[in-house]
Amino acid sequence: MVVLGAGFGRRFGGDKLSAVLPDGRAVGAASLALARAAWPDVVCVARPDTGMARIARESGVPLIECPDAVGGMGYSLAAAVRATAGAAGWVIALGDMPFLSPATLRAVAESVAAGQLIVAPSFEGERGHPVGFGAALGPELAALAGDEGARTVLTRHRDRLTLLSVSDAGVLQDVDQPTDLAGTVADPRPD
């Protein structure tokens, strides 16, 4: 599982991954805790010398430093895939989504492990995050650049996308504005 934490938080007005949630944890720390509760292998991608890099180190999560992330999310994704090239697939979780259920993260990861090429959760008919990718897509993901993330890969293989219907509204909730910090934080313990 990959937690992306290399963004700039421009809409938030600064380092949103270090912003504090009502439970006292940083957004990035909560997102990493959820990922670790859901799956044993977690890495974090962050720009060097950022709050998220510090949070990952303090959490004991392997850190992939990506200075190229200044060019967009595609660079972060590519760096993660290249650094974990032997993986059987990747679940791409976002560092600004601390409201997910560990069960949702686990369901996406298990679907990828079971052989699905692309998997995403869906809440009330709307596709959310995280998105899982099978190992066959590794070369395409490793070649990403720019700010579109994996959108081109999703578009190219949309006929292979499996949607998992979940009752987890957290798949649609991220932290883009300071007012988003008041969302409902999931219990990080495994279900």
Give the pLDDT of residue 184.
56
Domain extent, residue 42, equals 2-169
Percent of the chain with pLDDT over 70: 95
| Number of domain units in the chain | 1
The mean pLDDT value of the chain amounts to 92
Q: What is the pLDDT of residues 92-106, one digit of tens each?
A: 999 999 999 999 999
Residue 190 included in any domain: no
**Tokens found for residue 110:** 């298990």
Helix (H, G, I), strand (E, B), or coil: what is residue 132? strand
Helix (H, G, I), strand (E, B), or coil: what is residue 165? strand
pLDDT band, residue 189 (cuts 50/70/90): very low
Q: Which residue has the tokens 């044993």?
A: 40
Mean pLDDT value of segment 63-71 = 91
The domain spanning residue 25 has which CATH number? 3.90.550.10
Q: What is the pLDDT of residues 126-167, one digit of tens each?
A: 999 999 999 999 999 999 998 887 999 999 999 999 999 999
Residue 183 included in any domain: no
> For helices 51-59 and 27-38, what crossing angle results, to 10°?
40
Residue 38 included in any domain: yes
Q: What is the pLDDT of residues 35-51, one digit of tens each?
A: 999 999 999 999 999 99
Residue 189 included in any domain: no
